[in-house]
Structures are given as structure tokens and as C-alpha cells.
Structure 1
């Protein structure tokens, strides 16, 4: 089984998930529909990890950062991933459109989690192969 995690959506929430998984020793692939956002997220995550290191909250920021890469496409991010954490904008239409794209490229064995805080997953996954 692979240790790769795909972070799909790299705003503040997605960036926080990237830190959690990288600190846990996972290989992390960052993807955002806006490529510049994913690159900025990597920079933001690096700063956050150095700050956590400075407070003694993590042991090896550099090792965790070395496990993170930016994917060129959604398919690349999901390729070989055991788990994907979706963290796109909290709007049903945005999530519905994004999950339709995930459904087209994710392998059947990829576990997909959502950072949705108020929209039931059934709203944006209805009719998809990845639906619960």
C-alpha cells in the first residue's frame, strides 16, 4: 500500500492538512485548480513548519517538507494515492463540479475525504462512483 496522500485544494485548510500528513511521514502531493495557488501553498506550508519548529512543536520541518510536491494535474496528484483530502471552496456547486472530476480520474481504491463543514457529502457526490 502506498503512503501517498493527495491534497486537493491548497488554501488554508488544504495547507493545514498537508502539514498533518507530511509530519506523519506521508508523501504529499498538492493540487489546486489554480497552479499558482499550489506553489504559494508550498511556500506558506514551509513558513508554517519553520514556525512550528521554532516553537519546538515539530522535530524535523525539512524532512516533512521534502515529502511534499506540487502536482501538475488532478490525475498526477491522485496517481498512486491511497488517500485524497478535498479542501476546495465551501460551496455545493464548486464541490459537485470538482468531485465529478475526481470521479473521472481517481482509482477505485483511493479513499476520498472532504473538508466540508456544512454541506453533506451526499449533496456533491450523488451519482458518482466515489459516492459513499
Structure 2
């Protein structure tokens, strides 16, 4: 495992798009006020080896030891796999983000099936991990 700092870049870009090589899905950051935020490459950098992990973490600092941490998994079709990768990463979040609000995004190339099963999974995830889970197809855009 490399250090969090070695895998993180700071940015104030007004627009940033995160995607994986060969992936059609993306996570867009809209930053009209040019706030500073961090982007951490989790998979293959911060967390290596045969451990489930998500692709990116985006940290937005708000005040004394608080802020929002966005965990992003860009996935093909396997929503369940994306959810377990997000859960696994939540258990390995650096200490400095402990008090941050955590938002998790599973962005897939196919439309996740809705209905009661998906809703139950979302509620279960949020209760178990103290983090919010959002699904999206192809792209998700946040404004910070």
C-alpha cells in the first residue's frame, strides 16, 4: 500500500472529469468557485494487490477536520461488485477523513435495475457503512 499523499493531487480546476482507461463511464466535478479539492487514485496506487477497492476518492475540505469525501467506482455492468468495492474502500479510508461525510457512487455502463431489491441494498449499505450510496449510468456530476 502506497501512502495516501503519494497517490493524491490537489486541484482547483473549474471542471474535472475522472474516468478509467477503456471505461465509458465517468465522474464529473463542477467547481465554479474554484475551491481546492483532492483527487486520490485508489485502485493500483493507494490500495494495491488483491483487495477490493474503488477507483477514486475526491476530498472537499469544509471546516475544522470536516468535509465531504466522494468515493467513486466506475464499473461495467456489475453493480453488486461496485458496491462491495466501495464498502471495502470505506474500511481503508485515511484517518484524516474520519469525520468527513461520505458519499459513494457506483457508476455503471448499464442501467441498474431499480425496484425494491435495489432500494433495500441502498438502505442496507447506508446503515452498515454510515455513508450515502448513489447509482448512476454512464456519468455522475457533482458540484462542489
Query: Does the pair score TM above 0.5?
Result: no
Normalized against structure 1, the TM-score is what? 0.30
Normalized against structure 2, the TM-score is what? 0.28
Q: Say which structure, 1 or 2, has more relative contact order (CA 8 Å, 6+ apart).
A: 1
Whichever structure has more helix as a proportion of its residues is: 1
Whichever structure has more strand as a proportion of its residues is: 2
